[in-house]
Amino acid sequence: MGLAPPKKDSSAQRSKAALVIFGKAPIPGQVKTRLCPPLTPDEAATLQGSLVLDVVERARAAAKSVQYDCCFACSPSREHVFFKVLEDRQGLLLLDQVGEDLGARMHRAFQELFDRGYQQVVIVGTDVPTLPGSTFGAAFRSLKDHDLVLGPALDGGYYLIGLQRPAPDLFTDIPWSTDQVAALTRKKAESLGLTTALLPPYRDLDRLEDLQVLIGEAKSAPKTFSPRTAGVLQALADRLKSRDATLD
């Protein structure tokens, strides 16, 4: 399955650049499972939904000054009601995530969009609540004179990757969900003759340690978060403390 035409905007390609948000629907028991426990599946799903909305809203806002089309690569399916609402309200182009692992799914998304005529494609995840909207413009600017742009995560992975042409070998033989992903991707890019630009590192929200740090940051620097996610993090902190979880 490929791209679905958006409901509000014209299905015709409007830009030479595409931003693809990779994310999951906030289904209890299927998202943020490494945070459960201490979070309940419902709490993890609430957090996931807030993170997704953050990236979508920041991406749409940034697209007003940086010309690119906004897409969303959906899991488990673009037919899920959560994504249909996003499509209707935000005018996103929807894709299904297709592939046996993350690398295969990203390669499929890149290939599909390059096949549609895009000349720059950037993929971003939904796990960095402090990611500023200016990141997207920086990524596309980097692709003007680099083959590859990476946004490294503090856990050794990456929260963003962009290309100006297909590079299928870049996504093979990578141990996904390990602390070697970004380093091995850069090494492979070098072996393929690809020039790489790096964006500032940010913290992914994947583990309890990340949740603890981000709860603290939401208290000390709330303006780096959306009001919605800052509120979700504070509510989770209060609930976890009431369960005698050690967050401080």
Rounded Cα gap, residues 56 and 86, in angstroms = 9
For the 17-242 domain, the top CATH level (class) is alpha beta
Place 243 in a pLDDT band, splitting at 50, 70 and 90. Answer: confident
Global confidence as pTM: 0.92
Summarised one tens digit per residue, pLDDT across range 15-30 is 899 999 999 999 999 9
pLDDT value for 11: 42
Q: Give the mean model confidence (pLDDT) for residues 80-104.
A: 96
Summarised one tens digit per residue, pLDDT across range 58-85 is 999 999 999 999 999 999 999 999 999 9
Q: What average pLDDT does the chain have?
A: 93
Contacts of 193 (CB under 8 A, 6+ apart): none
Summarised one tens digit per residue, pLDDT across range 195-222 is 999 999 999 999 999 999 999 999 999 9
Residue 10: is its pLDDT beyond 50?
A: no
Summarised one tens digit per residue, pLDDT across range 172-191 is 999 999 999 999 999 999 99
pLDDT value for 244: 67
Share of the chain above pLDDT 70, in %: 92
Beta bridge partners of 18: 69, 121
Q: For the chain, what are the domain ranges?
A: 17-242
How many other β-carbons are positioned within 10 Å of the β-carbon of residue 39? 21
From start to end of 103-167, where are the E strands? 120-124, 148-152, 158-163
Kindly give the interhelix angle for 227-242 and 41-62, rounded to the nearest 10 degrees: 160
